[in-house]
Structure 1
Amino acid sequence: MLGKIRLPGAIGVSYLPPPPELCEELMSALMEWANGLSERHGGSDPDRVPALVAGTVISFGFVFLHPFMDGNGRISRFLLHHTLCQLRELPRGNLLPISIAMKRHEGDYLAALETFSKPAREQWRVNWVDADHHDFHFKGSENLYRYWDATQAVTFTLKMAREALRQDLKAETHYLACFDHIYRSIDTRFDVRGSDLSRLVMMCLSHGGKLSKNRRKQFRHQVPEDVLNAIESETQLLLGEFPDGNPIGLSEI
C-alpha cells in the first residue's frame, strides 16, 4: 500500500484535490479505464486512444486526483511509462526517458498542471478555524474533476517524448557505450571488484575523465593506485575521440 487517501490540503497551497468521497470514485473509474486500454488498443477500434494521449490522461489524471499524502508526482510519471509499455508502444523493460526531459522543462510541466489546478483551486472556499484547523468547502461542480481538458497536458507530453527520443535516449546510449568500453578494458587488465569498478567508471565519466582526491581516498584500501590511474587514462582517451571532449549529453546523465 503506497499511502492513505488524503483529505484536501491546507490554506495557501496551489491546488486542492476532489473531496475524499469523489476522489475514491474517480480513482476507481480511472483505474478501470486504464486497465481496459489494452483491449481497445489493437486493430481499427474506433475507441482506440493513442498511447501517448492515454498515458497523459492517466498520468495527469492521477496527479489531479492526488490520492496520497506524498509521492503523487512520482507515481504519475511512472504511470506514463507503464502505459506506453502496457500498450506495447515500448517493448517491456525498455524505457523512454521522458521524465528527464520533464525535469529539464519543469516550468512548462508546472504550467501544464496549472491549466487545471488553478481553476480547480478557485472552486474551493477555505476558512481558518484555529491553529492548524481549516474549514474546506467545495463550491463547484463535480464535473470539474470528472471532465477536464487534457489538450495542454497532451501537447506538453508529446513535446517531451520527442525530445527524449531525439536527445536523451541518444545521450544515454552514448553513455552506456562509453561505460561498457571502459569497464571491459579495465576488467580484462586488473582484478577489481565489479561494484567498485562500476562506481569508479561512472564517477570518472561524470567528471570529464578525472577522479577527485576524495574519491581516490575513499577507494584507496580496495583499489590500487595504478587501477585508478588506468581508469582515468582510459576515460580520457575515449572522451578525446569526441570533438568537444564529451559524448552527446554525457554530462547530463
Structure 2
Amino acid sequence: METNGLYFRPAGYTYLLEKFALAGMPNWHGSSVSTTGTNYSKIQDSFVDEVFRTQYWPGNKVGDHLEFALKYDGVNLGLLVRIFEHVPQEELTEYIKSKPIGKYARRIWFFYEFLTGKQLPIDDITSGNYVDALESNKYYTVQNGGKFQRYRIVNNLLGLKAAFCPIIRRTEKLAQLDSADLRKKCEDIVTKYPPELLRRALSYLYKKETKSSFEIEHIKPKASRTEKLITSLELAGKEDFCEKERLIELQNRIVDPRFKDSDYRISQNYVGQTAAYQKEVIHFICPKPDDLPNLMLGLIESHKRMKEGNVSPVIHAAAIAYGFVFLHPFEDGNGRIHRFLIHNILSLQGMVPRGLMFPVSAVMLKNPADYDASLESFSRPLLQLIDYRLGEMGQMTVENDTACWYQYMDMTAQAEALYEFIAKTIEEELVEELSFLANYDNTKKAIQDIIDMPDRLIDLFIQLCLQNNGSLSVRKRSAHFDFLTDEELSLMEQAVKKGYNRPD
C-alpha cells in the first residue's frame, strides 16, 4: 500500500482479514507498518489508524499477527472467531508451542478454544503464574470469573462462550464518567429536598419516564398500557426482570394485547421504512430467529455474571439493555423493554438512591441524535455484513451466518452514550423536576396566604400563569377566576413569578 510516496504493510487484524479475504465489524484500532520508519496515528470518529515504525513488523506468520493484534489492536472476539475458522490448526499449534509461557500465546490459545469449542493438541500448562484473559486496566471485567488451569488463564470476560460475550473498553471518556461519582452527585442533590417532596417527585418521574419511552417510538398508548408500564417500573428496584419468563411477562404488559408473544419471535425481523411501493429502506437487521434462543440465554447468563462479578452498574446496564435491543427477541415492545432494563439494572446494582428513579428516556427523547447514534454505531456497519433478500410482502430472509456479530459486540460506544444520558439525567433532568416541585410548594403556600381556595384551582392558576409568562390572560381569568379581585390577582401573579424566577 502506498500513500503520498510512503509504503505501508497492513498488520494485526487488517493483515489477517486481508489474508483470509474476510469481512468484519470495524475494529476501533487499525494497524499498518511503514517501510520508511514513520510512526503516526490518525483519529476519526473514535477510530484510530496507526502506522508503526519498521521494527514493529511482526513477520508473515499468522500467530505473530494475532499476537500483534492483541497487543495493539485490542481484543475483538467477533474478528477472532472468524479468523480462527480459517487458520490451520497445525500453524496455530506450532506458534503456541513455540511460546509455551508467553501471555499472548496463552491468551490466543484460550480464545481459540473458548470461541470455537475445539481443543488444540497441546498439553495443559502445569506451572507458572495466571494471567487475565482481558487486561483489567484496558477493559471492564468481572471479578472472580474463574481460573482455567489448562492455559493458566483467569477468565474475566463479561459473558459466556458461544452465547453472548460483549467487550467494553476503558476509554478516556468512560474513565471521566465514574458511576460512584454520579451516584454521589445524585445523593448531594436529593439531600437538599424534604422526603415528602421526593415521594411526590417519584410518582411524577415514573409517569414522565413512561410517557417519554412511548414517545421515543411515536406511540400514544391507552391509559391501561401506561399504568402497566408504571407498575413495572415501580417494581424495577425490587425484582430482577432479566429472566426469560419475566421478559415475556413484561412484553405482554406493555404492548397491544393483539401482539403479545408467548416466546421469542420465530420470524426474521428488521427495522426499516417504506420509501416507495415495494421498496424498503433497511436500518437494522435482527438476528435470525434460529439464533435467538442461544443468544438470549447468553444475554441472561451474562447479566447474572456481571451482577455477581462487581461490574460497574452503568457498564452492566449498557451491555444488557443495548444487547437486548440489538437481539430484538420480540415482535413488538423491544425498545421499551430495552429502556426498562436500564432502570432495572441501575436500581438492582445500587446506582439509584432508594426512593428515586432516573428519567433516562426523557433525556434520550430530548437528545434524539445522540440516542440514534448510540444505536447506529452498531446497526450501520452490521448492515454491510448481512446478505438478505426481501419478498413481495416485505418478508426478509437472511442468507448468511451472522450470529457471531451479535454474540461478540464491542459495546464501548453504547456504554459511553449511556453514561452521558445518565449524567444529564442527574445534573439536568432530575434537578429541573425537583426544583419545579419545590417552587410549586413555595408558590402554592404563598397563594394560600393570599386566598384560601381549593388545591385544584391553585394548580390550574399556576399552570395557566406559567403558560403565559407568569400572568393570567383576560380570557382565562374570565373563564376560571372571575371571583378574584384585581388586588388578589396581582398578588397571586407576583407569587408565581417569584416562585419560578420569572421576570416582572
Aligned to 2:283, the other structure's residue is in SS state coil
Correspondence 1:180 to 2:441: yes
Q: Distance in 2 between matches of 1:203 and 1:78?
A: 33
Greater relative CO (CA pairs within 8 A, separation 6+): 1
The match for 1:49 among 300, 305, 311 is: 311
RMSD: 3.1
2:423 and 2:365 map into 1 onto residues whose CA distance is 14
* Runs of 4+ deviating beyond 6 Å: none
Structure 2: tracts of 5 or more residues without a match: 1-251, 255-259, 273-279
SS of residue paired to 1:14 = strand
- 1:141-160 Cα offsets, whole Å, 9 max, x none, are 31111110111111111122
Q: Which moved more, 1:204-213 or 1:168-177?
A: 204-213
**Partner of 2:333 in structure 1?**
71
Residue pairs, 1:68-147, within 5 angstroms: 68-130=330-392, 132-147=393-408
Q: Which moved more, 1:153-162 or 1:92-101?
A: 92-101
Contact 1:51 1:87 in 2 (8 A): yes
Mapping of residues 26-65 of structure 1, within 5 Å: 26-35=295-304, 37-38=306-307, 40=308, 47-65=309-327
Q: Which runs of 5+ in 1 are unaligned?
A: 41-46, 247-253
Of residues 160-169 and 172-181 in structure 1, the stretch that sits farther from structure 2 once superposed is 160-169
Larger Rg over CA atoms? 2
Distance of 1:215 and 1:32 partners within structure 2: 58
Q: Which one has the bigger strand percentage?
A: 2
Secondary structure of the 2:395 match is strand
> Contact conserved, 1:63 with 1:72, CA < 8 A, in 2?
yes
Contact 2:440 2:499 in 1 (8 A): no
**8 Å contact kept, 2:386–2:402:** no
Name 2:289's counterpart in structure 1. 20
1:216, CA displacement in angstroms? 5.4
Greater helix share, structure number? 1
Counterpart CA distance in 1 for 2:413 and 2:318 is 10
1:157-203 residue CA offsets vs partner (Å, 9 max, x unmatched): 112222222222222222111111123333563231x4554354345
2:470 is the alignment partner of 1:201:
no
Change in CA separation of 1:36 and 1:104 when aligned onto 2, cut-off 3 Å? same
**Aligned runs of 1:147-186 on 2, under 5 Å?**
147-186=408-447
Flag the 1:226–1:155 CA change in 2: closer, same or farther, 3 A: same
Q: Secondary structure, in 3 states, of the residue corresponding to 1:124?
A: coil
Displacement after TM superposition at 1:18 (Å) = 0.9
Identity of aligned residues (%): 26
TM-score with structure 1 setting the length = 0.75
Per-residue CA deviations over 1:91-149 (Å, capped at 9, x if unaligned) read: 2331233333322322122112111111222333332432x143411413311111101
Q: Is the 8 A contact 1:204 1:211 kept in 2?
A: yes
**Which amino acid is 2:357 matched to?**
L
Please state how far the C-alpha of 1:225 moved relative to its aligned partner: 4.4
More displaced stretch, 147-156 vs 206-215:
206-215
